[in-house]
A = this chain, B = another copy of it.
Amino acid sequence: MACENETAIVLREAGQKVTPQRVHILCAIRHAGVHITASQVIEEVRTSHAFVDASTVYRTLASASDLGLVYETDMGTGEREFEWVGKDRHHHLICRPCGDVTSLDNSYLDGVATLLYEEAGFQADLGHFAIFGVCKGCQAKPRRAR
């Protein structure tokens, strides 16, 4: 895995110690490509590497999220999901009825972030958002009154 060195550099630049556990945890998220749950990370790391305690994984994920290396999202599934921060910032449209997840370009919320900063002085972190609602397909279907 060529990304191990790269990950080590990212860690060091962030002022964190480079430990095999951290490198393996972050590599697992990076290779997942899409969202990956905490338990999937644990499983992945234990398969390819060795035993890593769950609390270590949670702590590493929390600090990586703080440092902006990964996105942490509650998709409403009961488990938190993580994603490596790539070049393209994007959001997710989550359909409550069918559970379908669609990616959404960042441009939609750029204006909101600007507005918030200008009017409220609040520097919003709109890097990764989970927007719940009802998708096109489910709107067509008849459903119970809410």
Note all chain B residues with C-beta closer than 8 A to A116.
93, 104, 108, 131, 133
Majority SS of interface residues in chain A? Answer: mixed
Note all chain B residues with C-beta closer than 8 A to A52.
none
Quote the shortest CB–CB distance from A58 to chain B (angstroms).
11
Q: Which residue of B lies closest to A109 (CB)?
A: B112
Chain A positions near chain B (C-beta within 8 angstroms): 14-15, 66-68, 74, 93, 95-96, 102, 104, 108-109, 111-112, 115-116, 120-126, 131-136, 139, 144, 146
- In the A-B complex, list the 4 residue pairs whose CB atoms are closest, starting with the nearest: A121-B136, A124-B133, A123-B134, A125-B133
Q: How far is the CA of A96 from the CA of B109 in the complex (A)?
A: 19
